[in-house]
Structure 1
């Protein structure tokens, strides 16, 4: 459960709550099954930008209010389906938001209840850990509407393997929570009333590690996927030296010597 002393900021369609170094970003359009329209997209992007830039936020949780996690893009609102790019589509392609691949190396958790569709699933796939209710389901229904799935098609095979990815991408049919756990899309499956507490407990576990070391480790894992071995090792050792100069490394050594828990400062 959340400890005393936290900060929350409510926007009309997305909420941002910070407590104990954990930022919870919550879709808050339950009357529309949390479908993503232009306004929701704008607030959601702003919330992720805030999390990325907030030095006191070490771990992020993506959640949703209501019985549906996300019904996908709002087909009545073109900005919700395609997005806005600060110019024409061709001038600035899609790397401008969390779900489309912004560079963010803080740990992230998705807490999924109910249907998680299209745009919602694309965002969930960018999270490091997916904790799902037994009542969750996952789908990319775009092919049933005559349009391709793009970012999901890029990301999903890396998470679940080729055939399992194609099962979702080429049929448009929903995948149950149990099947999603079987193929590796879901990391942990819980009963519906335990979902938020489970996500919070795991986030608390993650905050026990040094935040800058976590970010460097995640960045190494992310960037070296497309590097050769020598380049990967060189990049990793460079990151080790960068983090080695921080105050948290000295604190970690002192804490180990004094047989106590370290007091991380993120600097």
Structure 2
């Protein structure tokens, strides 16, 4: 098979975030295992730049996010870095402020399918990253939680989104106690799509990726636009949203119908 791997654009050259595009899939990896893939300044910047590129890159039809190793998907904010910042009498970045876009909004507003591949624990900002993705597949040893109440932090994104994903009482218990839940508990509440043995995680994630990326890319983008922008709207209003590409008038719609009639696989062009 022809190797279609593409290196990250120069703007995404970051020592802690790996970014590659292959077969229409952008694979983003937090590569900071010595800090349990924690989100420091460089990681935050690298993730924002990678997702921002994937969002507008026509060669990307789907985006995945994972971490290096099997100990942590992402341990959340880099508390050592925050402590060093406080000791230097400098201000940390307050949510929804600063020179860069909000990281979790950037992921949520990447209008293509996004999958968090949870190779290890996801805590605090790492759990928020996973929640910002559309789908989540977890290794069986994974735990997820928002320990901000134990650290005097705020979980700005998580406290907004978690009660929309989980039953409110379950979400509020997680927020108030700061206690994590297991991958199996998360699956029971619909927070993750699948729980698999850690040695099967990569293969099972690839199987899910292939089931999605074989479909019409314009339709996938349309679904993402409507599902995010119409989330809290009345149905009548959401049905009238004019967002994203219009698959009904696309060449891919003609190709999809013709391929069905001719009993062959469609050849999508994204137009």
Is the 1:99–1:122 Cα contact (8 Å) retained in structure 2?
no
Aligned to 1:41: 44
- Distance in 2 (CA, whole Å) between partners of 1:32 and 1:241 is 40
Is the 1:61–1:109 Cα contact (8 Å) retained in structure 2?
yes
The answer to which of 52-61 and 253-262 deviates more is 253-262
- Distance in 2 (CA, whole Å) between partners of 1:220 and 1:100 is 16
Aligned to 1:176: 182
Query: Deviation string for 1:224-246 (max 9, x for gaps)?
Result: 223223322222xx459932222
Select which of 133, 147, 151 maps to 2:157.
151
Aligned to 2:88: none
Go from structure 1 to structure 2 and tell me whether the alpha carbon gap of 1:17 and 1:83 turns closer, same or farther (over 3 Å shift).
farther
- Distance in 2 (CA, whole Å) between partners of 1:53 and 1:222 is 17
In the comparison of the two structures, how many residue pairs are matched?
A: 259
SS of structure 2 residue aligned to 1:36: coil
Select which of 238, 244, 253 maps to 1:232.
238
The answer to which of 20-29 and 179-188 deviates more is 179-188
- Distance in 2 (CA, whole Å) between partners of 1:266 and 1:144 is 47
SS of structure 1 residue aligned to 2:60: coil
User: What residue ranges of structure 1 are gaps of 5+ in the alignment?
Assistant: none
Q: Does residue 1:69 correspond to 2:73, yes or no? A: yes
| Counterpart mapping for 1:158-197 below 5 A | 158-197=164-203
Go from structure 1 to structure 2 and tell me whether the alpha carbon gap of 1:52 and 1:248 turns closer, same or farther (over 3 Å shift).
same
Is the 1:96–1:102 Cα contact (8 Å) retained in structure 2?
no
RMSD: 2.5
- Distance in 2 (CA, whole Å) between partners of 1:82 and 1:3 is 46
- Distance in 1 (CA, whole Å) between partners of 2:21 and 2:100 is 28
What's the TM-score once normalised by structure 2's chain length? Answer: 0.87
Go from structure 1 to structure 2 and tell me whether the alpha carbon gap of 1:142 and 1:3 turns closer, same or farther (over 3 Å shift).
farther
Go from structure 1 to structure 2 and tell me whether the alpha carbon gap of 1:100 and 1:122 turns closer, same or farther (over 3 Å shift).
farther
Measured after TM superposition, the shift of residue 256 of structure 1 is 1.8
- Distance in 2 (CA, whole Å) between partners of 1:241 and 1:106 is 11
What's the TM-score once normalised by structure 1's chain length? Answer: 0.88
Aligned to 2:60: 57
| Counterpart mapping for 1:252-267 below 5 A | 252-267=256-271
- Distance in 1 (CA, whole Å) between partners of 2:253 and 2:93 is 41
Select which of 110, 128, 142 maps to 1:136.
142
- Distance in 1 (CA, whole Å) between partners of 2:68 and 2:200 is 15
Q: Does residue 1:24 correspond to 2:27, yes or no? A: yes
Go from structure 1 to structure 2 and tell me whether the alpha carbon gap of 1:101 and 1:241 turns closer, same or farther (over 3 Å shift).
closer
Aligned to 1:242: 246
Query: Deviation string for 1:148-167 (max 9, x for gaps)?
Result: 22110111111111111112
Go from structure 1 to structure 2 and tell me whether the alpha carbon gap of 1:76 and 1:99 turns closer, same or farther (over 3 Å shift).
farther
User: What residue ranges of structure 2 are gaps of 5+ in the alignment?
Assistant: 86-90
